[in-house]
Amino acid sequence: MQKIAKLIIFFFAIILTTSCEDVIDLKLDNAAPRLVVDAAIVWTKGTDGANQTIRLTTTAPFYNNSVPAANAAIVSVTSNSQVFEFLEDGNTGNYICQNFVPELGQTYVLNIIYNGVTYIATEKLIPSPPILNVVQTEEGGFLGTDKEVRFLWQDNGAEDNYYLSSFNAQGWLTPDYSPQSDRFFNGNQMFALYSDQDLAANTTLYLRLSGISLQYYNYLVVLFGAASGGNPFQGPPATVRGNVVNPMDNNDFALGYFSLCESDVQTYIVQ
């Protein structure tokens, strides 16, 4: 009987394993393409900030293997009657300006004309405090056994401030981003941290601290929350709307965000 029972179990295991290899081709509805705007103007401390790039793409069907570039758009950023033109580099969807003039606290207006439709967005250039110090410990993570690197800065207690911190290293697919508010740290020293038990010695980390607006902070919190839901049974996340709008049609908004920030950058070699 035991031999028969084992044969039955083996038989069903083969069936289940084989069935897992079936390819299911889902028929998905395709919405009309929507403009996607990656317009982060970043002024790194110690540079003139003149070279800036805005990337324009469009949404695509789920099974597409590439992201379509939005070509032949007219792109400009205006401030105090100064107009900075962004010209496309070939057919890449990258629109480049080499004479941008950043000014802290100044308001800038993005203007995009694509396929005969005008999109606009307005933001201020937000300053950033300098990174004061970088600290490494061996007690990070949930179990207190990971290598942890943190960098610190001083918050200005005279105002509400919002930040975007990031850690990056060669070979990483994307930086590790974190939007932060000084709500509970107003006027105190703040920090950003990264911990990983596999963080190898001699790894060069690129640390960046950017000052951002309240509106951009709120957008990032919602965006990162939607991207890291982690529940396999939850419904599809709602569209996260940025600040790039079509003033003639509120429903024909672009995806993405137009932001301007000052950044401080440092490198750190893991010990």
Q: Domain containing 120 — which CATH number? A: 2.60.40
Q: What residues have CB less than 8 Å from 17, skipping those under 6 apart?
A: none
- Contact yes or no for 33/114 (Cβ under 8 A): no
User: What would the pLDDT profile of 225-242 be if each residue is shown by its tens digit?
Assistant: 887 655 555 545 667 899
Q: Which two tokens stand for residue 110?
A: 């993005």
Residue 16 belongs to a domain: no
Residue 254 belongs to a domain: yes
Which of the residues in the chain have pLDDT under 70?
1-31, 62-63, 228-238
User: What would the pLDDT profile of 75-98 be if each residue is shown by its tens digit?
Assistant: 999 998 899 999 999 999 999 999
Residue 46 belongs to a domain: yes
**What is the per-residue pLDDT for 1?**
44
- Contact yes or no for 257/243 (Cβ under 8 A): yes
Residue 48 belongs to a domain: yes
Residue 115 belongs to a domain: yes
Range of the domain at 82: 35-128+235-263
**What is the per-residue pLDDT for 115?**
96
Residue 141 belongs to a domain: no
Amino acid found at 14: I
Give CA–CA dist 123/218, Å, rounded.
14
- Structural domain count, the chain: 1
Residue 65 belongs to a domain: yes
**What is the per-residue pLDDT for 60?**
82
Amino acid found at 191: F
**What is the per-residue pLDDT for 261?**
98
**What is the per-residue pLDDT for 139?**
81
**What is the per-residue pLDDT for 14?**
46
- Contact yes or no for 203/169 (Cβ under 8 A): yes
Q: What residues have CB less than 8 Å from 28, skipping those under 6 apart?
A: 61, 62, 63
Residue 109 belongs to a domain: yes
Q: Which two tokens stand for residue 146?
A: 């990971």
